[in-house]
Amino acid sequence: MKAYRPPTLGAVMNAFPPAASTEEAIRHFAARLSFETDVSDVAAQMTSHDIVVIDTRNTQSWDQGHIPGALHLPTAEIAERAASLVPTGATVVVYCWGPGCNGATKAALEFAKLGHPVKEMIGGFEYWAREGLPVETAPGTVTRRSPDPLTVPVDAGSCAC
């Protein structure tokens, strides 16, 4: 019996599929931008746009830390409570713990079912905190830690993307 041998780098590189057509790329990336936003954009939009930021995690997670100004609405309660918390026509931005959690995706689906324009915040609360943005805890304390140098430009303040 022959032993398994992984493909060589050359074979893997040759298997790399070609890029999509520019028309397909435009549709794809435009669609992604209409469904997703990043933490820097959320931070900028919270003071100047008509968005409602929703933390979809459980109460213990909310108490541990959340985005100042966000509303706490666990996913299981969206259908029941969204009408009393979210103004009609406001764009909803949902987040959960981080990129390894699909809680925000589930919450976005629930808001979409209710007819709300909705976006998912890429990276969730983890990316918010790692970028050094303000975090509020249960007692109302707002803290700001140093940004993780692997996630945000340390000296520039913005990646200008």
Question: Is 76 within a domain?
Answer: yes
Q: What is the CATH number of the domain that holds 52?
A: 3.40.250.10
According to DSSP, the β-strands at 142-143 and 135-136 are antiparallel
| Residue 4 within any structural domain of the chain | no
- Tell me the angle at which helices 78-85 and 103-113 cross, rounded to the nearest 10 degrees: 70
What pLDDT does 148 receive? 74
Tokens of 152: 């945000």
Q: For residue 6, tell me if it sits in a domain.
A: no
Residues 141-159 pLDDT 10s: 888 777 777 766 666 556 6
pTM of the model: 0.82
How many structural domains compose the chain?
Answer: 1
Confidence of residue 1 (pLDDT cuts 50, 70, 90): low
User: Chain-wide mean pLDDT for the chain?
Assistant: 88
Is the pLDDT at 87 greater than 70, yes or no?
yes
35 pLDDT band (50/70/90 cuts)? Answer: very high
Q: Which domain holds residue 95?
A: 37-161
- Calculate mean pLDDT across residues 46-71: 93
pLDDT at 7 over 90: no
- Residue 5 in domain: no
CA distance 151 to 161: 13
- Is residue 31 a part of any domain in this protein? no
Provide the pLDDT for residue 158.
60
Q: What is the pLDDT of residue 104?
A: 97
What pLDDT, on the 0 to 100 scale, is given for residue 141? 81
Residue 13 within any structural domain of the chain: no
161 counts as catalytic: no
Q: Is the pLDDT of residue 97 over 70?
A: yes
Has residue 79 been placed in a domain?
A: yes
Does 19 reside within a domain?
Answer: no
